Amino acid sequence: MALAVAVGLSAAVASGVGVIGFIGLASNALCNAIGVRTVRQRLIAAPAVGAALLGLTDLAVRHLALLDGVPTGAVTSLIGAPLLLLMIGRLPASRPGAGSIPQVSRLGP
C-alpha cells in the first residue's frame, strides 16, 4: 500500500510540474543520505542541494557535446528514476515482514 502511495504521489508531482519538479523530492532524500537529520538543517540544506543538482544538470546539458539538444528535464529524469527506485526500496512496507501488526502478549491471568 505504501509503495502504491509513494509511486502515485511521485507520478502526480512529476506530471503536474514536470520532471524538474522531482528534484524537490530528490533533494530531501539526498540530504537524508548525507546525514542531515534535524528539520532546521533540512530547511536550509534541501533547497541548496536541489539548486546545486539542477544547476549541475543544466551545466552538463549545455556543455557536454553528447547531450546537445537534450532537454534538462530528460537528464533529471535519468537521475530521478534510479533515485526513486532506491527510495521505494527503503520504505518499511517494501521489506518482508514490515508493516505487519505486532503481536501483543498478555501478562497475567
User: For residue range 53-109, what is the model confidence (pLDDT) as tens digits?
Assistant: 888 888 888 888 777 777 777 778 777 778 777 777 776 665 565 555 555 555 555
- In-domain check, residue 93: no
- In-domain check, residue 8: no
Task: Convert the pLDDT of each residue in 48-69 to its tens digit.
Answer: 998 998 888 888 888 887 777 7
User: Which of 1-10, 25-34, 44-53, 99-108 has the highest mean predicted lDDT (pLDDT)?
Assistant: 44-53
- In-domain check, residue 102: no
- In-domain check, residue 95: no
Structural domain total, the chain: 1
C-alpha cell at 69: 539538444
Residues 6+ away with beta carbon under 8 Å from 59: none
- In-domain check, residue 59: yes
Domain of residue 46 covers: 14-84
- In-domain check, residue 7: no
Angle at 18 between CA 16 and CA 19, to 5 degrees: 130
pLDDT at position 78: 78
At position 7, the amino acid (one-letter code) is V
d(CA 104, CA 47): 43
- In-domain check, residue 69: yes
pLDDT at position 54: 86
Q: What is the mean pLDDT of residues 7-22?
A: 72
